């Protein structure tokens, strides 16, 4: 790593344009909303920013028990979804990274392709798959009837009773399936980017020195791909935490997540200051996690992300 002073010109050319874009079109607007977060909601949903109204009230309210409950549930769902994403995504990324170069791009494209359909449409497609009269239950019913029919042919009594469709929708599991589906590429892409550039001679060495495939996987491949894993976990977790459409459409009556709560403040509740405060608390929390991670990484001499 170079000190930027050694090459001020190159550093400026690389760093300033994207940084300026983010300052103007991200930090600046966010600063406006940050100011809102200290305001109060007027009776019609206006934002009151008088000195008399300015307070930390919205932040205090964010820490009310009911909101913390929602946060805790959201974190739990995000953790489970992220774990499943790793479980599915790591082998997927590995399969792509170790495929012959000819197939890599095609496989990569196949991972991305489903995400070029709109999120709402994809979620509706999941509804069609999971509902009582959905594709999964239709398939199970067919299987069920076939078995019963087969038994009947053999002159045996039907072992299985009448088919009861599985209740796959409108519960926490459906929400998790939906979130995993939506966020899988955010796990796979960084993992792939890391695995693909992995110096394979380390793996060769491990295998040559007698370690089995599993040991090589867990003692060499996984540690070497930690930067990709942590990027993927971070992206997936953060995005999962902010989900709101998925719990809205696939969840049951108690599937509210922090993203829904925030969306409601900017929507029907018309409480932009409270919505802003909730958003910023979520951001501060993530900021701290990122910062701690960077510190730890620095101490270990590795890369931060």
Partner 1 sequence: MMNRIKAGRVTRRDFLVGAAAAGVAIGAHSRIARSAEEKKLNVYNWDTYIGETTLSTFTGSTGIEVQYDFYANNDELFAKLKAGNPGYDVIIPSDSYVADMISLDMLMAIDHGKIPNLKHIDSDPNFSNPPFNPGLKYGVPYLWGTIGIGYRKSKVENPDSWGLLLDSDKYSGRIALMADARSVMGLALKYLGFSMNSQNQAELDKARDLLIKQKVHIKTFAEDNGQDLLLSGECDIVMEWNGDIIHAAEEDDDVGYVVPKEGTQVWIDNVCIPVGAPHPENALLFLNHLLDPQVNAEIANTIKYATPNKAARELVSPEDLANPAIYPTPEVVARSESLVSVGEFTPAYDKAWTEVQAA
Partner 2 sequence: MSISTATATPAPRLRRPRRDIGPLDYTKRAWMRLLLAVNFVFLYFPIVALIAFSFNDSKRNITWQGFTFKYYTQAFNNNALQDAFTNSLMIAAISTAVSTVLGTMLGVALHRYRFPAKDVVESWVHLPIVIPEICMGVAMLALFALIKFPLGLATVIVSHIAFSIPFVAVVVRARMAGFDLSLEEASRDLGANQWQTFWNVTFPYLIPGAVAGGLLALTLSLDDFVITFFTSGPGSTTFPIKIYSMVRFSVTPEVNAASTILIVLTLTLTVVAMAMQGRGGNKKI
Question: Which of positions 161-220 make contact with partner 1 (CB under 8 A)?
Answer: 167, 169-170
Residue with tokens 């930067």: 227
Q: HEC string of 195-231?
A: HHHCCHHHHHHHHHCCCCHHHHHHHHHHHHCHHHHHH
Q: How far is the CB of 41 from partner 2 (least distance, A)?
A: 14
Answer whether 225's CB lies under 8 Å from 259's CB. Answer: no
- Position 51 contacts partner 1 (CB under 8 A): no
Binding partner of residue 176 among partner 2, partner 1, none, CB cut-off 5 to 8 Å per kind: none
254 is a site residue for partner 1 (CB under 8 A): yes
- Do 186 and 180 meet the contact criterion of CB atoms below 8 Å apart? no
As measured in angstroms, the least distance from the Cβ of 70 to partner 1 is 5
Query: Least distance in Å: CB of 291 to partner 2?
Result: 5
* SS3 of residue 162 by DSSP: coil
Distance CA 226, CA 111 (A): 21
d(CA 237, CA 137): 30
Stretch that binds partner 1, among 13-21, 77-85, 220-228, 266-274 (CB under 8 A): 266-274
Complex with partner 1: residue 73 or 293, whichever CB lies closer: 73
Structure tokens at 176: 């998790």
Give 68 or 113: the residue with its C-beta nearer to partner 2.
113
Q: Which does 114 bind (CB under 5 to 8 A by kind): partner 2, partner 1, none?
A: partner 2
Contact present, 232 and 186 (Cβ < 8 Å)? yes
Residue 47, beta-bridge partner list? 41
Q: How many residues bind partner 1 (CB under 8 A)?
A: 40
Separation between Cα atoms, residue 228 and residue 186, nearest integer Å: 11
Residues 84-113 that bind partner 1 (CB under 8 A): none
User: Binding partner 1 by CB under 8 A: which of 33, 48, 193, 217?
Assistant: 48
Q: Is the CB of 70 or the CB of 111 nearer to partner 1?
A: 70
30 interacts with, out of partner 2, partner 1, none, CB within 5 to 8 A per kind: partner 2
Q: What is the CA radius of gyration of the chain?
A: 25
User: Residue 100: CA atoms inside 13 Å, Cβ hemisphere, count?
Assistant: 1
Residue 45 CB, shortest distance to partner 2, in Å, is 12
**How many residues belong to the chain?**
305
Nearest distance, CB of residue 56 and partner 1, angstroms: 17
178: helix, coil or strand? helix
Residues that bind partner 1 (CB under 8 A): 39, 41-50, 53, 66-67, 69-70, 127, 131-134, 167, 169-170, 248-249, 251-254, 256, 260-261, 264, 266-271
């Amino acid at each position: 790593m170079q000190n930027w002073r050694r090459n001020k010109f190159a550093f400026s050319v690389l760093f300033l344009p994207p940084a300026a874009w983010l300052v103007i079109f991200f930090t600046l607007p966010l600063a406006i909303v940050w100011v809102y977060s200290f305001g109060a909601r007027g009776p019609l949903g206006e934002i009151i920013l008088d000195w008399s109204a300015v307070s930390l009230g919205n932040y205090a309210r964010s820490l009310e028990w009911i909101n913390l409950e929602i946060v805790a549930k959201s974190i739990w769902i995000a953790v489970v979804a992220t774990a499943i994403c790793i479980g599915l995504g790591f082998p997927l990324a590995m399969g792509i990274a170790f495929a012959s170069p000819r197939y890599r791009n095609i496989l990569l494209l196949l991972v991305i392709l489903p995400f070029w359909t709109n999120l709402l449409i994809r979620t509706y497609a999941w509804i069609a798959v999971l509902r009582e009269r959905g594709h999964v239950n239709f398939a199970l019913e067919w299987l069920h009837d076939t078995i019963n029919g087969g038994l009947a042919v053999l002159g045996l009594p039907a072992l299985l009773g009448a088919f009861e469709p599985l209740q796959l929708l409108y519960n926490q599991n459906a929400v998790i399936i939906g979130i995993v589906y939506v966020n899988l590429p955010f796990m796979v892409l960084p993992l792939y980017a890391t695995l693909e550039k992995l110096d394979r001679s380390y793996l060769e060495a491990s295998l040559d020195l007698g370690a089995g495939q599993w040991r090589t996987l867990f003692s060499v491949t996984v540690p070497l791909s930690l930067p990709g894993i942590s990027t993927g976990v971070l992206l997936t977790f953060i995005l999962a935490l902010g989900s709101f459409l998925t719990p809205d459409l696939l969840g049951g009556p108690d599937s509210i997540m922090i993203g829904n709560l925030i969306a409601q403040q900017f929507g029907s509740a018309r409480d932009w200051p409270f919505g802003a405060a909730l958003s910023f608390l979520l951001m501060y929390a993530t900021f701290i996690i990122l910062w701690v991670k960077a510190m730890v990484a620095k101490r270990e001499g590795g890369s931060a992300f």
